[in-house]
Amino acid sequence: MTQIDDLEQPAAAKPAAPAASPGGAWPGKATRDARVDVVRGLALLMIFIDHIPHNAPALLTLHNFGFSDAAEIFVLLAGYSSMIAYGGLFRRAGIRTALARIAKRCLRIYLFQAGLLLETLVIVRIWMDLTGLTPRFGVAPLLQMGLLPGLIRGLALNALPNYLDILPLYILLLALFPLVYFGMRRGIWGVLGLSGALWLAANVDHQLNLPNAAAVDDGWYFNPFAWQFLFVIGAALAVTVRAHDGLLPRRGWAVAAALAYLAFALLQGGSWAEWGLPDLRPLAIGAPDKSHVGPLRLINMLALAYLMFSMPAVQRVSRWRRLSLIDACGRHSLEIFAAGCLAALIGRILYRTFDPIWPLQIAVNLGGIAVMLGLAHLLDERPGRGARRGNGDRRPG
């Protein structure tokens, strides 16, 4: 395909010729990277599991083993994928066509956000009327405003409820991608420096944020002034990976440093109490700030990204046929994300109504994952998609 879904993976095409340096590695025809699909698909499943409080399988997701979680993976890969697809589109089709495609994609993501918000408000309102219970999650602040006023403020992205606050971040970052692209055409390090300075400013002054009437601190939980740094790093990473024929340069000292940091993150950030194990944390410090991508979280994500894009074994594993459904989730990630949000909502309601007993937890988790994988399979098998996949062309659903 010639377009990237900011929450999807670019299409497969004939491999591009390797470039000798980042300056000569700007994307042409969008080429699919199976690593991005598979990792993003796994992140979607983890997001579903993590979005259900008191959910036992959530003890085994990424955030229990370090400082980062699936959200950082999504944003970094969004920048990576946007550069591969839209960066190439700017070069092939021109500014007007590329901007139109980006605007169309932003609109589609917004429509998914609006649909999820409306469905969530209606489902929760019906559940409240039937049970007399009040929600402890998600859209409670919007419902307290009144159904219609809460919906209007939610649609205006002025009130972002928990669990439905990541798509607005994607819309904003994708809308800003043209500035990132043209800035990097002039100098990658300059854009990274400016982006890093903005991230640092957001970490120093937490008032640097967009307003959110549904939040206690009146700001977006995913502070865009901080999270944009991961998106920009992902875009720069795409250029660098392409410059080195699909793999970052593998340096022994860099691999050792990344592994050492991830080992420290495991010891310091591991969920030892929840696992019923002795506390192995070497330092008496709190969890790093997620809302502003605290430095420990940022370094954790950079270490993971370096290993992911420098190890040939990751490429080989990502192409395994047994991971085809996970791969499909990554390629249809907007639809799968929406399905996961609704499945997690049903799970939260069931847990709140009946308590999270083991049989219910098994049913909720297996049912939600089955819905996500089944939808990915159906989207992959739509008429005409098989032929396009065989020709190396995967268009967004």
pLDDT of residue 390: 42
Asked, for residue 14, whether it belongs to a domain, the answer is no
Q: How confident is the model at residue 33 (pLDDT cuts 50, 70, 90)?
A: confident
Give the mean model confidence (pLDDT) for residues 205-228: 92
239-252: per-residue pLDDT in tens?
999 999 899 999 99
Tokens standing for residue 237: 């990473």
Q: Has residue 20 got a pLDDT over 90?
A: no
Query: Which pLDDT value is given to residue 85?
Result: 87
Residue 138 lies inside a defined structural domain of this protein: yes
Residue 22 tokens, joined: 């980042």
Domain annotation covers residue 13: no
User: Which residue type, as a one-letter code, is found at position 41?
Assistant: G
For 345, residues 6+ apart whose C-beta sits below 8 A from its C-beta are 120, 123, 124, 138, 163
The token duo for 224 is 């865009």
Confidence of residue 385 (pLDDT cuts 50, 70, 90): low
Whether 368 is in a domain gets the answer yes
CB 124 within 8 A of CB 136: no
Q: How far is CA 62 from CA 57, 65, 68, 100, in A?
A: 11, 6, 7, 36
First-residue to last-residue Cα distance in the chain:
11
113 within some domain: yes
Average pLDDT over residues 139-143: 87
Length of the chain: 397
Of residues 71, 67, 32, the one with CA closest to residue 50 = 71
- Cβ atoms of 58 and 368 within 8 Å: the answer is no
Q: How far apart are CA 121 and CA 160, in angstroms?
A: 12
Mean pLDDT, rounded, of the chain: 88
Q: How confident is the model at residue 391 (pLDDT cuts 50, 70, 90)?
A: very low
Contact between 333 and 380 (Cβ < 8 Å): no
Q: Is the dihedral of CA 200, 201, 207, 210 positive or negative?
A: negative
Residue-wise pLDDT tens digits, 151-196? 999 999 999 998 999 999 999 999 999 999 999 999 999 999 999 9
> What's the angle, vertex CA 146, arms to CA 141 and CA 150, rounded to 5?
60
CB 68 within 8 A of CB 46: no
Residue with token string 């409820």: 161
pLDDT one-digit tens code per residue, 112-133: 999 999 999 999 999 999 998 8
Residue-range definition of the domain harbouring residue 160: 22-390
Residues 6+ apart with CB under 8 A from 54: 351, 356
Q: Is the pLDDT of residue 393 over 50?
A: no
Q: Report the alpha-carbon distance of residue 262 to residue 199 in Å, rounded.
A: 22
Name the band, by pLDDT with cuts 50, 70 and 90, for residue 17: very low
Which region among 105-114, 139-148, 182-191 has the lowest average model confidence (pLDDT)?
A: 139-148
Average pLDDT over residues 9-36: 54
- What are the pLDDT digits (tens) for 292-347? 999 999 999 999 999 999 999 999 999 999 999 999 999 999 999 999 999 999 99
154 within domain boundaries: yes
pLDDT band at 286 (very low <50, low <70, confident <90, very high): confident
Q: Nearest 10 degrees: CA dihedral of 316, 320, 325, 327? A: 20
Question: Over 50: is that where the pLDDT of 273 sits?
Answer: yes
pLDDT digit string (tens) for 192-211?
Answer: 999 999 999 999 999 999 99
Task: For residue 119, give both structure tokens.
Answer: 């469905």
Q: Kindly state the average pLDDT of the residues 231-240.
A: 96
Report the distance separating Cα 114 and Cα 92, nearest Å.
32
Average pLDDT over residues 367-373: 98
pLDDT in tens, 48-94: 999 999 999 999 999 999 999 999 999 999 999 999 989 989 988 99
By the 10 Å C-beta count (0-12 exposed, 13-18 middle, 19+ buried), 21 is classed as exposed
Rg of the Cα atoms in the chain: 21
pLDDT at 56: 96
User: How distant, in Å, are the alpha carbons of 2, 3, 62, 88 from that of 92?
Assistant: 10, 11, 38, 6
User: DSSP secondary structure string, 302-346?
Assistant: HHHHHHHHH-HHHHHHHT-GGGHHHHHHHHTHHHHHHHHHHHHHH
139: confidence class by pLDDT, cuts 50, 70, 90:
confident
The answer to whether position 159 is within a domain reads yes
The total number of structural domains in the chain stands at: 1
